[in-house]
Chain A
Amino acid sequence: MVGVSGAIGVIGTGVTGSRVVEHLVATSSLPILLHDQDLYLAQRLAAVHQSHSAAVTVVDFETVAMASVVVLACGSPHAPLAQKLISHGASVVSLSDDVSDVMNLLKMHDAVLAKNKTLVVGAAASPGMTGLLLSSLQSNFDTIDEAHVALHGTGGPNCAVQHHRALAGQSIGWHDGEWLRRPGGSGRELCWFPEPVGAYDCYRAEMADPVLLKKAQPRLQRITARVSANRRDRFTSRLPMLVPPHAEGGMGALRIEVRGFRNGSRIVEIAGVAERVAQIAGVVGATTALFVHRGQITTTGTCALGQDSLPNAEILHDVLTGGIRLHQFVGT
């Protein structure tokens, strides 16, 4: 049996979980403990990586909870799982993008702090990568006051269900000191994503980005989040999903537009990434877990990527060396 306390655990071996494991195997020699309700899926993923001489083992929940860091890459809710893992003494990296789940995870701050552990909330693509990009763009400004996020595409089936639900829900946006709730599917905006994705109509949706970006950078005055959707998505958003989601969405993209002041002038900076959403989420989640494991994230309690107390530049650097291509929009 591998040395459990020095291992990284991964709960959820679907599309995103498998990308997390792939990145961990590629960038470290740490033992990896897998757990999934679907034992066959977990064993198949472990078997794929056995040939790479990596110590990937399928274990039960009690054993995965003994790892130093556990990545939650399963479907939401993550809060009850995180609570159990923290009580067992593990730090947790959650890839949840569900608003209520994220709020419940953030509420665990005192409990996590009491255990002297770290709980990174929303370390995926959106949220997650958006926080890292916000932190990176921030260095181009004297002050920032607005951040606007747009996402195109979905990861695995759970992500597709979340996308469907988000369009039917209430979007949350931070606007001049108060949270504004608007119906999902409203506020159409044509957003340009890095090639090969291009332009897509994006709409307000129930996304966790504003909550986590506000936690990361409290000085922001306006934060919005939109998601791309076609007419069928919007028309059927309030109905149950009529067709089962794809095993994995196609090429996705995300962009963040940051506004603020430099030398007294109002400026706008836009950065984006075009890649499969599960790949972005997997690389960001795995990189964050490695940082927690190595002790490079010393913040205890709950935290969000992009907040000043985290080594965001180093995390982003490792994410980009993991194969994610960053682009900057040049124009008006």
Chain B
Amino acid sequence: MNFIRRVLMVLGIAGIAGALLRVRGKSVPSSQRGGWRPLNPSVDPIVDQTNSQN
């Protein structure tokens, strides 16, 4: 009985540790630096002006 209890406890602790490790951790950034610029076709004069400044 004690043996089963210990096994269950070990499995429980391992499960919690595994779940914590899964949700924590470091991200790999997909890009380092930069920004977004509008890329719409020339149907909107405001977007045209923005594009010409880039």
| B17 beta carbon closer than 8 Å to chain A | no
Complex Cα spacing A317 to B44, Å:
12
Complex contacts, A111 vs chain B, CB 8 Å? none
Complex contacts, A271 vs chain B, CB 8 Å? 39
> Chain A, 315-332, contact with B by CB distance < 8 Å: what is the 0/1 string?
001001100011111111
Complex contacts, B41 vs chain A, CB 8 Å? 317, 320-321
Contact-residue size bin, chain B (C-beta under 8 Å from the other chain): 20 to 34
Complex Cα spacing A192 to B28, Å:
12
Question: Which single residue of chain B is at the shortest CB-CB distance from A201?
Answer: B27
**Contacting residue for B40 out of A185, A326, A329, CB 8 A:** A326
Complex contacts, B35 vs chain A, CB 8 Å? 329-331
Interchain CB contact under 8 A, B30 and A192: yes
**Contacting residue for B31 out of A185, A321, A332, CB 8 A:** A332
CB-contacts of B23-40 with A (<8 A): 23, 25-40
| A270 beta carbon closer than 8 Å to chain B | yes
Output the least CB separation between B42 and chain A (Å). Answer: 10
Compute the total of residue contacts between A and B using a CB distance below 8 Å.
69
Interchain CB contact under 8 A, A257 and B30: yes
Complex contacts, A191 vs chain B, CB 8 Å? 30
Interchain CB contact under 8 A, A320 and B30: no
Complex contacts, A231 vs chain B, CB 8 Å? 23
Question: Which single residue of chain B is at the shortest CB-CB distance from A324?
Answer: B40
Interchain CB contact under 8 A, B25 and A272: no
Q: Number of A residues whose C-beta is below 8 Å from B?
A: 29
Complex contacts, A325 vs chain B, CB 8 Å? 38, 40
**Contacting residue for A192 out of B23, B25, B31, B38, CB 8 A:** B31
| A146 beta carbon closer than 8 Å to chain B | no
Complex contacts, B27 vs chain A, CB 8 Å? 188-190, 201
| A182 beta carbon closer than 8 Å to chain B | no
Output the least CB separation between B17 and chain A (Å). Answer: 14
Known: A188-B27, A189-B27, A201-B27. A331 touches B39 (CB 8 A): no
Question: Which single residue of chain B is at the shortest CB-CB distance from A321?
Answer: B43
12 contacts between A and B (CB under 8 A): A148-B30, A188-B27, A190-B30, A192-B36, A234-B23, A320-B40, A321-B43, A325-B38, A326-B38, A330-B35, A330-B37, A330-B54
> Interface residues, chain A, CB within 8 Å of chain B?
148, 150, 185, 188-192, 194-195, 201, 231, 234-235, 257, 270-272, 317, 320-321, 325-332
> Interface residues, chain B, CB within 8 Å of chain A?
19, 22-23, 25-41, 43, 54
